[in-house]
Structure 1
């Protein structure tokens, strides 16, 4: 799981240009630099997303990735580092999407499985503290594909 669903997510974004915007893929060097700045190894399906789309919005749902602008690495990198500094986000978590309730969907890079995937949790929503998370799904690809399909159906 994960990679196949990430491929389906990328296809869904590209097949719906009227509902989707994406930054354009980034290089393996950019991904390695993001991992260095974040101090983590990113999961396989998220790396596929970064290579293919970079960063995107689907039917109003934003998925943070990597956006290079004027020497800065924006998106998941700046959002995650800001949350670590300002709200106590744990160093193994990487924020990739607002959850719509004041929190974020995060990848837990400390729990990467043999398939190279990391589970997705909700962090910082509602009454959750900086150390509490709620399980959302097994990997980025599956969660992103499901969210995008739902968003496009309701758009």
Structure 2
């Protein structure tokens, strides 16, 4: 799981250009630098997304990736740092999308599977520890594909 769904997500994204905007893929060096700055290892499906799209909107569903502007890494990197500072979000979580209710979908890099995938949880506005997280899905690819499918159905 994970990579196959991430591939389907990217394919769905490309099949719907009128409903899709993306920043452009990241290089391996940019991905490695984002991981270094955040002090985590990204899941394989998220790295695939970063290489292919970088950062995107599809049918109104925003998914943070890594965007490089003036030698700065933006997107998930800045959002994650902001949440760590403003809410005390644990350093093993990486924010990749607002949930629309004051929380953020996050990758829990402390729970990486043998396949190199991390589960997705919501770090909520009221969460004060990792035990208060709401489980969303097994991996980034599966969650991203579901978000895109839902958004395109309602578009």
Offset, 1:17: 0.8
Structure 1 counterpart of 2:47: 47
Offset, 1:135: 0.5
Determine which of 119, 127, 130 is the counterpart of 1:129.
Answer: 127
3-state SS, counterpart of residue 18 of structure 1: helix
Offset, 1:71: 1.5
Offset, 1:78: 0.4
Offset, 1:130: 2.7
Cα distance in 2 between the residues matched to 1:73 and 1:116: 23
Task: Give aligned pairs, total.
Answer: 153
Cα distance in 1 between the residues matched to 2:128 and 2:118: 19
Structure 2 counterpart of 1:109: 109
Q: 5+ residue gaps in structure 2?
A: none
Cα distance in 2 between the residues matched to 1:58 and 1:114: 30
Structure 1 counterpart of 2:93: 93
Structure 2 counterpart of 1:75: 75
Superposition CA RMSD, Å: 0.7
Cα distance in 1 between the residues matched to 2:33 and 2:72: 11
Note the alpha carbon deviations across 1:67-120, whole angstroms, 9 max, x for none.
011111100000001110111110000000000111100000000000100000
Moved over 4 A (4+): none
Cα distance in 1 between the residues matched to 2:66 and 2:14: 17
Cα distance in 2 between the residues matched to 1:130 and 1:26: 32
Structure 2 counterpart of 1:143: 143
Q: Normalized against structure 1, the TM-score is what? A: 0.97
Structure 1 counterpart of 2:63: 63
Cα distance in 2 between the residues matched to 1:130 and 1:45: 27
Offset, 1:129: 1.8
